[in-house]
Amino acid sequence: MRIGIAADHGGFELKKRLLKELAQTSWVWTDFGAFQLDPQDDYPDWVVPLARAVGRGEVQRGVAVCGSGVGAGIAANKIRNVRAALIMDSYSARQGVEDDDMNLLCLGGRVLGYELAAELVKTYLSAVYKDAERFRRRLQKVAALETGP
């Protein structure tokens, strides 16, 4: 599975640590930046290119990290075919994929410890969408929102 990751200054250190550990897995990672710590950068500059890659299917899943994870989620969900969520617990990391086909995980670099963040990423990436009729029906209703009122 191809995975993309991006972070602004608020998530930069967490992204660096995650990449170092997760590079040892079988997942193929693409780093969308930031590539150096810049306290003045803006999360959309890094999260939107990642979200576009997820939306186009260039990467199957994404991980976006900003200070709280909120801004990353707001920006990512503006992109067609992206289902992003701020996740703070393992149940939601798994269930978000299984039931809602979440394809972009948002984390808060300033509010999560490293061990929990690494566990959430691994849980999210290991989860599989159940593809039940009721889940497809709900996702069709959500996708219809992308085409406007």
Active-site residue (options: 66, 82, 85, 104): 66
Q: Using CA atoms, how far apart are residues 43 and 80, in angstroms rounded to an integer?
A: 18
Provide CB contacts within 8 A for 108, sequence distance 6+.
10, 11, 65, 66, 67, 68, 69, 70, 86, 88
Return the closest-CA partner of residue 2 out of 33, 27, 32, 31.
27
Helix or strand (DSSP H, E) at 66: strand 61-66
61-66, strands of its sheet edge to edge: 28-31, 2-7, 61-66, 104-108, 84-86
**106 catalytic per annotation:** no
What are the catalytic residues? 66
